[in-house]
Amino acid sequence: MRRFFTQAGLQKFKGHFRSLTLFAFDYDGTLTPLTSKLSHAKLTHKTQRLLEKLHGYVPIVIISGRSISDLKKLCSFTPTFFIGNHGLEGIGVKGKLKTNFYQTCQKWKKRLLKGISDLQGVELEDKKYSLAIHYRRARHKVQMKRLILHTTSRLHPAPKIVFGKFVINLLPASQFNKGVSLKIAMHYLKAKHAVYVGDDKTDEDVFRLPGNSILKIRIGRKNNSCANFYLEKHYEINRFLNEAMELWDIEDPELERSSRT
């Protein structure tokens, strides 16, 4: 994995402007910094403005572990599509399947509230189609993670467990993840190329996708990541968006603006 802001990185980036390109982003830790409180993760005015400007040229999709309703409350920018719950909520997910996801999560929630309600610094987030157990505010995080996993091991049906930064996500079994969702979005929008930026373990489902049609960029360097390039920290996202606008104008300033729908 190489640093994005190099000649090699920018040249690769430029190569993805040859045809309709879809830009996709994770939300927390990518478009916004990670916060101790979930409700504090809001876009800065500058990031919002840059996204809106870029959206005038290309479709933009936000793919997050958050629910779509939560994203709409927090995100002051409206993309082409929101995809929530790690891909369980969004394009291609039928209503009956979402009902099954919801019923499974409610069953888990009843059991979990008995098992983790007394744990200090732990928060259970009900995202309707998945659950997330946050332990960022716990004092002894390693021990707390062990306790949470012991509790989740008793759940039935067994959840798909997706680890994040001091969070354990519980998902009903399905074929959907962030990678699958990005491919569905590309097909739906007839995009031949995509650029994806993410920061967490859940984004590896995108980074592991085969082929060269997707440029994969991670926030923060990680040796075992499958991303192509990395940005040093979250604060470089605005520089990245600026670079996208500059490259787009250089490539074809007369390019007809793509539809926002």
Q: Are residues 100 and 223 in the same domain?
A: no
User: Does any domain span residue 114?
Assistant: yes
Residue 133 lies in a domain: yes
Mean of the pLDDT values across residues 52-67? 94
Asked if 102 and 128 sit in the same domain, the reply is yes
Which residue segment(s) compose the domain that 113 sits in? 95-171
Under 8 Å between Cβ of 172 and 105: yes
Judge whether 210 lies within some domain. Answer: yes
- 76 plus 141 within the same structural domain: no
**8 and 87 both lie in a single domain:** yes
Q: What is the count of structural domains for the chain? A: 2
Q: How far apart are CA 231 and CA 8, in angstroms?
A: 14
What angle is formed at CA 34 by the lines to CA 28 and CA 38, rounded to 5 degrees? 75
Residues 147 and 33 in one domain: no
pLDDT of residue 164: 84
pLDDT tens for residues 93-138?
988 999 999 999 999 999 999 888 888 999 999 999 999 999 988 9
Structure tokens at 78: 């409206």
Q: 215 phi and psi, to 5 degrees?
A: -90, 120
For 19-59, how does the pLDDT look when each residue is reduced to its tens digit (9 = 90+)? 689 999 999 999 998 766 666 678 999 999 999 999 988 99
Report the DSSP beta bridge partners of residue 167: 134, 164
User: Averaged over 211-215, what is the pLDDT?
Assistant: 94
Q: Which pLDDT tens digit goes with each residue over 228-258?
A: 999 998 889 999 999 998 887 634 344 444 4
| Interval 207-217 mean pLDDT | 95
- Alpha carbon 26 to its chain centroid, in Å, reads 3
Per-residue tokens: 180: 């699958």
pLDDT at 81 over 70: yes
Rounded CA gap, 176 and 89, in Å? 9
Distance between CA atoms of 241 and 244, rounded to whole angstroms? 5
Cβ burial of 14 (10 Å; 0-12, 13-18, 19+) is middle
Both tokens assigned to 195: 């650029």
Q: Report pTM.
A: 0.88
Q: What are the residues facing 11 on neighbouring strands? A: none
The helix or strand, by DSSP H or E, that contains position 156, with its residue range, turns out to be none
Round the CA-based radius of gyration of the chain to a whole number and report it: 19
pLDDT (tens digit per residue) in 163-185 = 888 899 999 999 999 999 999 99
Comparing C-alpha atoms, which of 130, 235, 209 is closest to residue 172? 130
Which of 134, 178, 170 has the alpha carbon at shortest distance from 25? 178
* CA–CA separation, 122 and 226 (whole Å): 30
Q: Residue 258: its pLDDT value, please?
A: 43
Question: Cis peptide leading into 157, omega within 30 of 0?
Answer: yes
Q: Kindly state the tokens that stand for 166.
A: 């001091």
**Domain-terminating residue out of 116, 149, 171:** 171
pLDDT exceeds 50 at position 259: no
Same domain, 137 and 233: no
84 and 204 together in one domain: yes
Write phi, then psi, for 147 (nearest 5 degrees).
-65, -40
> Which residues are registered as beta bridge partners of 60?
23
